[in-house]
Copies of this chain bind each other. A is one copy, B any other.
Amino acid sequence: MVDSTPRERRQARTREAILTAARQIVAQKGVAGLSMRAIARRIDYSPAGLYEYFDSKEAIIEAVCLEGHWQLMQAMRQVDENLPPAGRLLGLGLAYIAFAIHNPEAYLLMFTNPPSPANVLALMSESSSYPLLLATIEAGVAGGVFRPRPGYGVNEMAYSAWSLVHGIAMLRLTYLNDMPLDFSTSDREALQTLIGGLQGVGNDA
């Protein structure tokens, strides 16, 4: 950003305007309502003009997803690093859910679309949200707080936690969309319950 020309700055601003418009349309009309024409209308461009900035509609969607993954990671990074593993895992889960609730457009695009290779990479790669989750669980296992079992190591633990928060997020964004209930304590307690399971005992059934 430091050695950018005015032209480059204008381009970056337009690029961002396109992505913002795309997000807003998805938020208001759903993924199906997202079209090049709709984006162009919203930023007072002709549809053809968009091709100066993105090669295709698919490229725009991918860019929104990438940005979303980056923002999700940022949100999860805000969680205090010095908490004990169980508390930190709770915080990460709540941050994840909060991101989904407050950015439903981006979240649905990120996870409802056929995930492109770049997309999967973005999620799994270093400096993404999944490694944060994994690292916390590893710390918990190393500290003896989370107890692995045969066939249930750190990867499986992370998979459990991710599934739970993803399930909560998706249910809230789709099925329970316009239920006027307050889920905040339910979400916290659901996470607490899973974390309790990671911490202990009771693997008889």
Q: Does A22 contact B (CB under 8 A)?
A: no
* Known A-B contacts A166-B171, A167-B164; A197 and B204 likewise in contact (beta carbons under 8 Å): no
- For the complex, give the distance between the alpha carbons of A58 and B185 in Å: 36
- For the complex, give the distance between the alpha carbons of A114 and B175 in Å: 8
* Known A-B contacts A30-B114, A196-B203, A200-B200; A162 and B167 likewise in contact (beta carbons under 8 Å): yes
Contact of A170 among B87, B167, B177 (CB under 8 A): B167
Q: Do B86 and A204 touch across chains, with their CB atoms under 8 A apart?
A: yes
CB contacts under 8 Å to B, within A185-205, are: 185-186, 189-190, 192-205
Binds B, one of A35-43, A47-55, A71-79, A148-156: A148-156
Residue of B nearest to A151 (CB): B185
Chain B residues whose CB sits within 8 angstroms of the CB of A193 once the complex forms: 152, 157, 160, 194, 197-198, 203
Q: Does A90 contact B (CB under 8 A)?
A: yes
- For the complex, give the distance between the alpha carbons of A193 and B170 in Å: 21
Chain B residues whose CB sits within 8 angstroms of the CB of A160 once the complex forms: 164, 186, 189-190, 193-194
Q: How many chain A residues touch B (Cβ–Cβ < 8 Å)?
A: 50
- Copies, count: 2
- For the complex, give the distance between the alpha carbons of A114 and B30 in Å: 9
* Known A-B contacts A112-B112, A201-B196; A162 and B156 likewise in contact (beta carbons under 8 Å): no
10 contacts between A and B (CB under 8 A): A86-B205, A120-B175, A152-B193, A159-B190, A167-B167, A170-B170, A192-B203, A195-B197, A195-B205, A196-B202
Which residues on A are within 8 Å of B, measured CB to CB?
A: 30, 32, 84, 86-87, 90, 111-112, 114-115, 120, 123, 149, 151-152, 156-157, 159-160, 162-168, 170-171, 174-175, 177, 183, 185-186, 189-190, 192-205
